[in-house]
Amino acid sequence: MDFPLYVEAVQTRDEPPTPYEEKLAGLIQRVFAEGHVELPALVRGLNEHGSAAPDGKPWDEQTFRAEMQRLGA
């Protein structure tokens, strides 16, 4: 069997990502690219770039985990 040597970014999704999801994913990638790969640094980076959690407040580890779980459900 031939299998592709790459992963489609949305291969497990039923529909395309929303603009919110695309923006958040892009910002997470940007923060990762800046070298912030541990959760506390990632959350700090999101806040430093002006991103807010879904409730409009700054991100913290708990709200980030909850949002990742919601988006992955």
Main-chain dihedrals φ then ψ at residue 69, nearest 5 degrees: -65, -45
Residue 22's pLDDT is 95
Main-chain dihedrals φ then ψ at residue 30, nearest 5 degrees: -65, -45
Mind listing the pLDDT tens digit of every residue in the chain (73 residues)?
566 566 566 566 778 889 999 999 999 999 999 999 999 999 999 999 999 999 999 999 999 999 999 998 6
pTM to 2 decimal places? 0.79
Residue 14's pLDDT is 77
